[in-house]
Amino acid sequence: MSGLELFAAALGVVAVWLTVKQNPWCWPIGLVMVVLYSWIFYEVKLYSDMLLQLIYAVLQLYGWWQWTRPGRPAEARHVTRLALPAVGAGLAIGLLASLGLGAAMAHWTDAAQPWLDAALTAFSLVAQLWMAQKRLQCWTLWVVLDVIFVGLFLYKGLYLTAGLYALFTLIAVRGYLEWRRDPALVPA
């Protein structure tokens, strides 16, 4: 465990908790966290996770814009549920991206866990996009992914990060429960 990992983990807890509370400050704090984690994952050869963090950086800006719509607060996002076909489409895209990225990482890099890392990366992008759009189902997907991430990070010796993702799992459950009770929740 490094000081960098400790700082990134602390920022992660704050960012995800603010997301549960629908506080738009989750996005800039999350931006700093993902930039730090991109370096951490590079050092342990989890290249798909490193790329994921860099893509998250862009999605942090997208989420900030989606949640605040500068100058037009009436158009800010409200929590919605995705229709079943949209959930299926998102998961299918995640699967296809997993296969493509996994093949690339297995063939062209010395990635530690190319297929698992790629699958977690692809489905995390789906979950992150759904989160930026305030889709209730993002939390269910995050719970599943976070549990698997815990195992991967334990395997790679990133014990603090594994603990962080275990905490993320609990926070994701809380996020689902809070967003489900949100009075502004509207069907997709």
**For the segment 16-38, what is each residue's pLDDT rounded down to a tens digit?**
999 999 999 999 999 999 999 99
Which residues, including other chains, have CB under 8 Å from residue 181's CB and lie 6 or more apart?
none
Q: Quote the pTM value.
A: 0.85
- Which residues, 6 or more positions from 92, have their beta carbon under 8 angstroms from its beta carbon? none
* Residue 188 confidence class, pLDDT cut points 50, 70, 90: low
Share of the chain residues as helix, strand and coil, in percent rounded to the nearest 5:
80, 5, 20
| pLDDT band, very low/low/confident/very high, at 99 (cuts 50, 70, 90) | very high
pLDDT in tens, 51-60: 889 999 999 9
| 19 Cβ neighbours under 8 A, 6+ residues apart | 26, 30, 131, 175
Domain residue ranges of the chain, discontinuous segments joined by +: 3-187
Contact 127, 166 (CB under 8 A): no
Q: Which of 37-46, 68-77, 169-178 has the highest mean pLDDT?
A: 169-178
Across 148-156, average pLDDT: 93
Answer whether 133's CB lies under 8 Å from 75's CB. Answer: no
